[in-house]
Amino acid sequence: MNILLNGASGRVGRLIESLVDSDPSMTVVGRGRSDEPLQGCDGAEVVIDFSSPESALHALSVADEHGLPFVSGTTGFDEAQRAALDDAADRIAICHEANFSIGVHLLDSLVREAAQRLGEDFDVEILETHHRNKVDAPSGTALGLARTVAAARGLEVGAAVDPGDRGGRRGPGRIGIQALRGGDVVGEHEVHFLGPGERLTLAHRASDRSLFARGALRAARWILGRSPGRYGLADVLDD
């Protein structure tokens, strides 16, 4: 598998490069770094991106131009940038995930079931913690978990999610998200269901960032030869 790696100088990008170096079936044939655009498309079969939204969109345009599948773990996209992903998915296969951890995807399934079974008598609060250098807050994973709760309860996401502690009383049906930043925390997510006389907490803690790199490489192998469209890690794991 010949990989075009965008965000090669980042935390996950360096781990992907290390894993590729130890596996003779994979090669990085081109790179994009924080200080230079993606280059080296000759022979590439897939683009893997862990960068910033702006850099990711440039990598997406390269993938689209050359007809390459696109795997991205970049977070912090705004509505227009998400629309660009949807548009490109008409022409190429795209797997975009805020979190390439298998455990997080199991957490998402458990959160969906809990939201459905517990019902609206249980309030939902989400707490996420990351290292001091993470730029976006709340995390893409926390927002994804909030969307899962909203969908399970038939709520409109924009009206239900409260991304930040604004103080005061939380209105009925609102889903709160709190973000902590500090130290070298890889990533922690807790979903609290708070009901009358009891509380259920579902949590995931990542201790090794290489799990994201392994998940992205697994998705990259899976997406080779796929038809254009939007895919997620659930598609990869279910196949």
Query: What CA–CA distance (Å, rounded) separates 205 from 185?
Result: 9
Instruction: Say if residue 69 is preceded by a cis peptide, omega within 30 of 0.
Output: no
Structure tokens at 108: 């998402």
Say whether 204 is catalytic. no
Closest residue by Cα to residue 131 from 78, 179, 73: 179
Nearby residues of 73 by Cβ (< 8 Å), 6 or more positions away: 12, 49, 50, 96, 97, 98, 99, 100, 212, 216
Catalytic residue chosen out of the listed positions 96, 105, 131, 134: 134
Catalytic residue chosen out of the listed positions 130, 131, 192, 204: 130
Say whether 131 is catalytic. no
CB distance 146 to 94 below 8 Å: no
Residues marked as catalytic: 130, 134
